[in-house]
Structure 1
Amino acid sequence: MKYFNAVFLSCIAVFTFSCQSTEETVFPKRESISESVYASGLIKAKNQYQAYANASGIVQEIFVSEGDPVKTGSPILVIENETARLNRENAELTRAFADRKAKQSRLRDLENNIENAQNKWRNDSLLFERQKRLREQGVGSAVDLEQRQLAFENSRNAYHSAKLIYQDVKREIEYNEKSAGKNLSISKALESDLVLKSEINGKVYALLKEKGEMVNAQTPLAVLGSADEFLLEMQVDEYDIVKVKLGQKIVVTMDSYRGQTFEAKVSKINPLMNEASKSFLVEGVFVNGPTVLYPNLTLEANIVIEVKEDALILPRSFIIEDSFVINVEGDTLKVKLGLKDLKKAEILEGIDEKTEVIKPTK
């Protein structure tokens, strides 16, 4: 510890000697200061997304060019897939075959069978009842009565069987009709997936495939987004993310607009950290932005965490190790700092506006 103190005092002495020789001095002064969190990022179009088609095949036709405006549902391109087309046509044939109207003749035949069976049952019932009365009067044999009873029971069973057959066939026709209809809807949906459509009202920023290229469901085909609304996507270090809040002011600079600054505000904080970069994605929207913007323009941003008016300020170049200053008498004074930015710091304790301090040189 004694060695460290000796080294530190030697450093202070060097700083003091250098400062006195240059005689660059300054008085602390009252002004506003803000503390901010630095972030880098990109400009993105609002609702910007990569478009995929839920199908495989060859790009058959492209209907738009890069930069074209599109509306929700506008076709972007179509993919050729012969299998999907054949499946749809086969489903149409199956649906037509399963159509209930086409099966009406079969149902009418079964209805006629029921009516005939019912009539025979009634007739056999009458004959059986008559034979019973004759037998009671001593006319006819027991064998004749048994035959009439057997005919009656058989016709009754035939009638009930005809009704059951009719119900089974009717249910089968209804099931086949519904199943064929659903299969046709699925086939049409799969075929409609061959046409890539816009999900938003906006602009085509990029076409990623050309006519004749083979694509699949994992292949991005286009980049679309809002035509006139943009947002900021910024990466904020995990050490700073707890300071960031919704609505905070953002001061933005871009290489495309050198020498200019623009104001934005924090609109969204994504809560999951990127483990690779150890950073969080923070989004912002412009309060007053440039007139012309394009997706993927780079930016640098300072998210303003706190602003203090009428603070006692000293340039950070006059402060040694964020803890000490040297006055014109050569004394080393300990100071306590408050808010800090890249160039200046707030003095909370140690000196006042009347303290003239010297800029140390290394």
Structure 2
Amino acid sequence: MKTLLSIAGMTLLFAACKSKTASYTVQSRTLNEAVYASGEIMPEAYYFLKANSADLLLKVMVKEGDTVHQNEVLAVLGTPGQLEQVDILQRQVALAGSNAQEQSAALTELRSRIALAKTKQEQDALNADRYTELARSKAVSEKDAEQARVQAATSATEYKTLQDQYQTLQSDLSGKLLQARQQLTATTQSREGKVLKSPVNGRVYKVYLKTGELAQLNAPIVMVGLPGQFKLELLVDERDISKIRTGQKVYFETDVYKGKQFEATVNKIIPLLQKESRSFQVEAAVQDTALFYPQSSVEANILIRERINALVIPSDYLMKGDSVYLQQGKELHKTAIVTGIRNGDWVEVKSGLKAGDVIATKEGK
């Protein structure tokens, strides 16, 4: 179990007190037990916008550090011809929709012809009835009456034909609108993943490619996340994961602020072993409001127990195999010990030594 550097402000937490002498008198100290973890710092919520197929990066609309809004287009994949095709189909849908409206020029003109044909059909029908009555009284010839009836029938046929034409034209225009919409939908679906939009109101943290470069399948193009809120993504050895609980304090360092320590709190334990590293991922909410940089590496200690009174020795005196040189008079005897907590420069001794024993380095002979 590894541990981090000292944490200032806590009683002997991670105390760094290397012995400057050749010997050390074993004694008890107050320690804190912690589990070492390493990982990186990330925005509390972040997203990698990726390509759904290998394609050229046509446009990048943002740069790193930009503030963006939800659904704002950040990058476009594909070729100019593909974008033009979408524009053409959108115009075709708009035109087809306009033509299919009741107020369109074609339907309006045909309705006018139908109105005229209806008026003529009604007039010819009345005229045919009148001529038929006049023929009965011998006021006009039967031939004239027959001609009037033929004209009425012709007008009725023309009126019905125009009505049928109107229905046919309406159906044809509606069909063209539906077809245009289907083509646009199919083309738009094929371009899903090629127009990359921000899923949140946030900040652009990284742009991985430049305009004109080839984006590989599932390769990140833009990273966007929530600004001002960060979390740690840590890896904990499988031998230590059983000690981790949500709510535990985490003290961490990052090279960006070398020598400065920050605090976080464990809020998520992902119970899935990562076989490659034989470790588990643990997330911790960062309490500090410093300007952190995503994907910066961190080293951390997750505090397990506080203020443990333990028999300890400086880690410099511990040799491989957990043994020390015990000073007895002028002689040094190699003695095996059982260790416990290893906290900074201190190692807990569970057995093998007692308070008051004097240990020495080999150089102290």
TM-score range, shorter chain: 0.5 to 0.7
Q: For residues 189 and 70 of structure 1, what CA distance do their matches in structure 2 show?
A: 28
Q: For residues 157 and 242 of structure 2, what CA distance do their matches in structure 1 show?
A: 83
Fraction of identical pairs, as percent: 23
Residues 300 and 165 of structure 1, relative CA distance in 2, 3 Å threshold: same
Residues 130 and 187 of structure 1, relative CA distance in 2, 3 Å threshold: same
Code of the residue aligned with 2:311 in structure 1: it is L
Deviation at 1:26, TM superposition (A): 3.6
Q: For residues 23 and 191 of structure 1, what CA distance do their matches in structure 2 show?
A: 73
Q: For residues 304 and 240 of structure 2, what CA distance do their matches in structure 1 show?
A: 10
The answer to whether structure 1 residue 246 and structure 2 residue 246 are counterparts is yes
Deviation at 1:301, TM superposition (A): 1.3
Q: Which residue of 1 aligns with 2:140?
A: none
Residues 156 and 59 of structure 1, relative CA distance in 2, 3 Å threshold: same
Q: Which residue of 1 aligns with 2:79?
A: 81
Secondary structure at the counterpart of residue 90 of structure 1: helix
Deviation at 1:156, TM superposition (A): 7.2
The answer to whether structure 1 residue 302 and structure 2 residue 337 are counterparts is no
- Structure 2 unaligned regions, length at least 5: 1-21, 138-146, 329-337
Deviation at 1:240, TM superposition (A): 3.2
The answer to whether structure 1 residue 71 and structure 2 residue 100 are counterparts is no
Secondary structure at the counterpart of residue 298 of structure 1: strand
Deviation at 1:251, TM superposition (A): 1.6
- Larger mean CA deviation between 184-193 and 110-119 belongs to 184-193
Deviation at 1:235, TM superposition (A): 1.0
* Residue deviations 1:18-56 (CA, integer Å, cap 9, x gap): xxxx99654546x4x433322111122444443336687
1:91 to 84, 89, 92: 89
Residues 57 and 275 of structure 1, relative CA distance in 2, 3 Å threshold: closer
* Residue deviations 1:125-167 (CA, integer Å, cap 9, x gap): 99589979x99x9xxxxxxxxx999999998787666545533
Within a 5 Å distance, the mapping from 1:23-102 to structure 2 comes to: 25-28=25-28, 31=30, 33-52=31-50, 58-59=56-57, 62=60, 65=63, 67-72=64-69, 81-95=79-93, 97-98=95-96, 99-100=98-99
Q: Which residue of 1 aligns with 2:7?
A: none
Within a 5 Å distance, the mapping from 1:164-243 to structure 2 comes to: 165-177=165-177, 179-180=179-180, 198-199=198-199, 200-205=201-206, 207-215=207-215, 218-225=218-225, 228-243=228-243
Q: For residues 148 and 213 of structure 2, what CA distance do their matches in structure 1 show?
A: 81
Within a 5 Å distance, the mapping from 1:134-149 to structure 2 comes to: none
Higher helix share: 1
- Structure 1 unaligned regions, length at least 5: 1-21, 138-146, 329-335
Q: Which residue of 1 aligns with 2:269?
A: 269
Secondary structure at the counterpart of residue 274 of structure 2: coil
Deviation at 1:111, TM superposition (A): 5.9
Residues 254 and 110 of structure 1, relative CA distance in 2, 3 Å threshold: closer
Residues 127 and 275 of structure 1, relative CA distance in 2, 3 Å threshold: farther
* Residue deviations 1:249-269 (CA, integer Å, cap 9, x gap): 002133455544322111333
Deviation at 1:340, TM superposition (A): 4.0
- Larger mean CA deviation between 38-47 and 157-166 belongs to 157-166
Is this contact kept in 2: 1:114–1:162, CA < 8 A?
A: no
Q: For residues 181 and 169 of structure 1, what CA distance do their matches in structure 2 show?
A: 18
Q: For residues 149 and 71 of structure 1, what CA distance do their matches in structure 2 show?
A: 76
Q: For residues 294 and 162 of structure 1, what CA distance do their matches in structure 2 show?
A: 73
Q: Which residue of 2 aligns with 1:17?
A: none
Q: For residues 58 and 226 of structure 1, what CA distance do their matches in structure 2 show?
A: 28
Is this contact kept in 1: 2:107–2:170, CA < 8 A?
A: no
The answer to whether structure 1 residue 313 and structure 2 residue 310 are counterparts is yes
Q: Which residue of 2 aligns with 1:281?
A: 281
Residues 255 and 208 of structure 1, relative CA distance in 2, 3 Å threshold: closer
RMSD: 5.4
Deviation at 1:87, TM superposition (A): 1.2
Residues 279 and 44 of structure 1, relative CA distance in 2, 3 Å threshold: same
Q: For residues 312 and 96 of structure 1, what CA distance do their matches in structure 2 show?
A: 79
Is this contact kept in 1: 2:124–2:155, CA < 8 A?
A: no
Residues 104 and 56 of structure 1, relative CA distance in 2, 3 Å threshold: farther
Q: Which residue of 1 aligns with 2:333?
A: none
Q: For residues 37 and 248 of structure 1, what CA distance do their matches in structure 2 show?
A: 11
TM-score (norm 2): 0.59
Residues 246 and 167 of structure 1, relative CA distance in 2, 3 Å threshold: farther
Code of the residue aligned with 1:305 in structure 2: it is I
Q: For residues 295 and 264 of structure 1, what CA distance do their matches in structure 2 show?
A: 15
Q: For residues 48 and 221 of structure 1, what CA distance do their matches in structure 2 show?
A: 13
Secondary structure at the counterpart of residue 273 of structure 1: strand
Is this contact kept in 2: 1:62–1:77, CA < 8 A?
A: yes
Deviation at 1:177, TM superposition (A): 3.4
